Amino acid sequence: MNAKRLKLSPEQWVTLLHKYGVPESSLTGKSGSCPICGGNDRFTYDNKRGRGDWVCRKCNNGDPKAGDGFELICKVAGMSFRELMLELEGGSLAEARQCRAQQAAAPAPGRKVDPEWARKRLESMWDRATLIGSDGLVPRYLRARVPGLTAPPSQALRQAMLDYRHEKKVIGQWPGIIARFTLPDGRLGTLHRTFLERSTVAKATIVTNDGEILPAKLNDVTLHKLNGGAVRLMDPVDGEIGVAEGLETAYAAHMQFGVPTWYCLNRILLADFVVPDGLGIRVVHIFADFDAIDPRTGKSPGVDAALKLAKRLRAEGYTAVIHRPKKRETDFADEWLVCRGMKRAASKLPVRNLQREAAHV
């Protein structure tokens, strides 16, 4: 398809942009929040040249930037221009997938995966994904889940349009986060995927035709056993790191405690975490999920996993410090939301005039 020759009416442009996740509130022609970089009163959709044209006063690293509707779709939906053109050229999603180098169908559950095939699949997926900047869908999602997040974009995370496969069939595509899960010896274990909505800042709601709700977070194929590894979100600082179960929990713990934090995907892998050699790590903070008591064991599964890890790390000569949220059935992402809410509420309290009070004593 030749994008320059594509002619759409103003109404068709609005429909197309909305289909790919640009909110209707951004397409009114009035100044408002930017669907790419967020903020308020900085973005205007004017369709000036009949190309879905827009301008934002902050999108170019704080400077003004203008573009057409195709660029807006690609940035909001997290897809390449070629993928968009192939979709618009008759809706050929199959052809769009074929154009992606080494992109093969995922194996059926239980099928033994050829290691070389798995390596090429994962490396191709990682190479095709784009880096995450300070603006865009993924940063907006992370800031929504961890308000006030100031951590710089992680080299362990990328973004892409992702196929969702269920019962051997692709049931749709969603933008998403790809996380690189690294083993203690530096090898790639798998890529973990978090599927996101296009039009709202949230994890994707994925429902089959018969009403089954599918998980929005999934590993891709496993290249090597995952025990011992983690997604290394940040570099160690002064010989210290933290480990948590999930992405949002890791970022929230980092914000609350100031510790560079990795995540292990779940409590089983958290308990199996191995400190990699060569990074100078001496202290490990373990950010446990404070789960409800399991009636079969009488233990909180998340805390129990943290205790097992701490015991082993101490035996290996490391300093291990366990942290857990104050409230049961929460994690540090939950606790951070509460802390932020309390800080905002405190900032709105009236300031007492201590000099006036002292004068009346």
Strands (E), 199-324: 206-207, 213-214, 217-219, 230-231, 240-244, 261-263, 283-287, 319-323
Nearest to 19 by CA among 97, 72, 89: 72
If you search the block for the tokens 């109404």, which residue do you land on? Answer: 11
pLDDT of residue 36: 81
| CA 174/CA 196 separation, integer angstroms | 6
pLDDT of residue 14: 85
User: Could you tell me which residue, 349 or 7, shows the higher pLDDT?
Assistant: 7
User: Could you tell me which residue, 355 or 289, shows the higher pLDDT?
Assistant: 289
pLDDT of residue 98: 41
Reported as a single tens digit per residue, the pLDDT across 97-148 is: 444 433 344 444 444 568 899 899 999 999 999 998 878 889 999 999 999 9
Confidence band of 350 (pLDDT split at 50, 70, 90): low
Would the pLDDT of 1 be above 70? no
Contacts of 174 (CB under 8 A, 6+ apart): 161, 162, 164, 195, 196, 197, 198, 204, 206
Nearest to 72 by CA among 143, 159, 136: 136
| CA 293/CA 310 separation, integer angstroms | 20
Backbone angles phi, psi at 180, to 5 degrees: -85, 115
Which residue pairs, CB below 8 angstroms and at least 24 apart, start in 274-280?
A: 274/184, 274/227, 274/228, 274/229, 275/184, 275/313, 275/316, 275/318, 276/184, 276/185, 276/186, 277/184, 279/236, 280/236, 280/239
Reported as a single tens digit per residue, the pLDDT across 203-253 is: 999 988 878 888 999 999 898 889 999 999 999 999 999 999 999 999 999
The one-letter amino acid code at 75 reads K
The per-residue pLDDT of the chain, averaged, comes to 84
| CA 76/CA 67 separation, integer angstroms | 13
| CA 104/CA 231 separation, integer angstroms | 24
Delimit the domains of the chain by residue range.
3-81, 101-219, 230-347
CATH fold group of domain 230-347: Dna Topoisomerase Vi A Subunit; Chain: A, domain 2 (3.40.1360)
User: Could you tell me which residue, 342 or 95, shows the higher pLDDT?
Assistant: 342
pLDDT of residue 345: 55
pLDDT of residue 344: 59
| CA 313/CA 285 separation, integer angstroms | 11
Write b or e for each residue in 214-225: b if 16 or more Cβ atoms lie within 10 A of its Cβ, otherwise e. eebbbebbebbe
Strands 54-60 and 32-34: unpaired
pLDDT of residue 354: 36
Strands 157-166 and 130-131: antiparallel
Cβ count within 10 A of residue 248 = 24
pLDDT of residue 341: 72
Confidence band of 4 (pLDDT split at 50, 70, 90): low
Would the pLDDT of 89 be above 50? yes
pLDDT of residue 318: 97
Reported as a single tens digit per residue, the pLDDT across 134-158 is: 788 899 999 999 999 999 999 999 9
| CA 250/CA 328 separation, integer angstroms | 18
3-7, 60-64, 345-349: segment of lowest average pLDDT:
345-349
| CA 99/CA 107 separation, integer angstroms | 20
Instruction: Check the CA dihedral 288-289-294-298 and report its sign.
Output: positive
Confidence band of 308 (pLDDT split at 50, 70, 90): very high
Reported as a single tens digit per residue, the pLDDT across 154-197 is: 999 999 999 998 888 888 999 999 999 999 999 999 999 999 99
Would the pLDDT of 361 be above 90? no
Would the pLDDT of 353 be above 70? no
Helix, strand, or coil here: 68? coil
Confidence band of 299 (pLDDT split at 50, 70, 90): very high
| CA 159/CA 5 separation, integer angstroms | 29
